[in-house]
Structure 1
Amino acid sequence: MIEALIPLSIAAAVQPRPGSIEQRARDPRLVIVFAPNRNDPMLLRQQALLHQARSSLNDRDVHVIEVVGDSVAGAHDYAAAIRQRYAMSRTRFGVVLVGRDGGVKLRSAEAIPPRHLERTIDAMPMRQREIAAR
């Protein structure tokens, strides 16, 4: 299978790179939104919520990736590979928050309110260091 031969940029984005902690701290946090199609009501709800929170998510260095059907927006990867990596079905809606360390910090089968994302991110040790360094 050709997908197995192509390195995944999303995998690279969420795997620790060799080097200093400061280098790793420059990688964005990821919110990956999965949906079976563009008309999925949960997708539309999550998009609206993320749009409302765009400023606070930018402040927290969050990059949004959408995996809808067979298309991917926000990353140069195959939808099937991203779904496999995060164990998400092609027929269901889901949201995954990935921290700077590459670990899954939050997983939901429903749209996640911005305040819940913000609280989860703000509780992360790297985010605490970012806040303290300001």
Structure 2
Amino acid sequence: MKLPIYFIITLLFLLLSCKFMDNKTDLLANYKWKNRILVIFSDSKDNSLFQKQLQLFADNKEELKERDLIIFQVFKEEDTEKGITPHQKSISSFDIEQLKKRFDFSFGEDKNKFTVVLVGKDGETKLKTENEILTLEKLFGTIDAMPMRQSEMKKGKN
């Protein structure tokens, strides 16, 4: 009789531990409920779409800030995959692989060379564009239509 109870408690502990570990290994988990996230994938740091997208965002920092947007960049440099966090820190190879897997991106000749993904504060993918610039109209239109953003605007947070 005691054996099944110990087994159930141990199993429950292991399941909860795995769930806790998943959040620790998810690079984006720290931003859940705090920020909306843009993940930009590019086959090269010199890709013209990548450069134009970054410039568009740089030119509109205040609008991005109002919407609690932060940007992660993942790109290839020579034969190495690299990533940069919103705080200009390097992203580990493990985290790059996790991001690629989560958002179904692959660096390869037959694959997309440029992708932008919008992740909502709830951690879910809200928008994905491939091989084209994500316009501010599309980005802000998507965000501003979200219930959480509507609530933020009503509370006076631009």
Post-superposition CA distance 1:88-132 (Å, at most 9, x none): 122321000000011111100111111221111100010000011
Tell which has more relative contact order, 1 or 2 (C-alpha 8 A, sep 6+): 1
Aligned to 1:72: 83
Count of paired positions: 119
1:9 is displaced (CA, Å) by 2.1
Structure 1: any 5+ residue segments left out of the alignment? Answer: 16-23
Instruction: Please point out which of 124, 130, 134 is paired with 2:152.
Output: 130
1:14 is displaced (CA, Å) by 6.1
Taking only the aligned residue pairs, the percentage that are identical comes to: 28
Q: Is the 1:34–1:94 contact (alpha carbons within 8 Å) kept by the matching residues of 2?
A: yes
Aligned residue type for 1:100: K
Structure 2: any 5+ residue segments left out of the alignment? Answer: 1-21
Stretch moving more, 76-85 or 46-55: 76-85
Aligned residue type for 1:94: T
Which is greater in Rg?
2
For 2:139 and 2:84, the matched residues in 1 are separated by 20
Secondary structure (helix, strand or coil) at the match of 1:48 reads helix
Structure 1 segments, 4+ long, off by >3 Å, are none
For 2:96 and 2:123, the matched residues in 1 are separated by 18
Secondary structure (helix, strand or coil) at the match of 1:56 reads helix
Instruction: Please point out which of 107, 115, 119 is paired with 2:128.
Output: 107
TM-score by length of 1: 0.81
User: Within 5 Å, which residues of 2 pair with 1:1-134?
Assistant: 7-10=25-28, 12-13=29-30, 24=33, 27-69=34-76, 70-74=81-85, 76-77=91-92, 78-91=95-108, 92-109=113-130, 110-134=132-156
For 2:50 and 2:35, the matched residues in 1 are separated by 22
1:8 is displaced (CA, Å) by 2.5
For 2:152 and 2:68, the matched residues in 1 are separated by 11
Post-superposition CA distance 1:40-90 (Å, at most 9, x none): 111011111111221100010000110112111116442222111111122
Aligned to 2:8: none
For 2:30 and 2:106, the matched residues in 1 are separated by 22
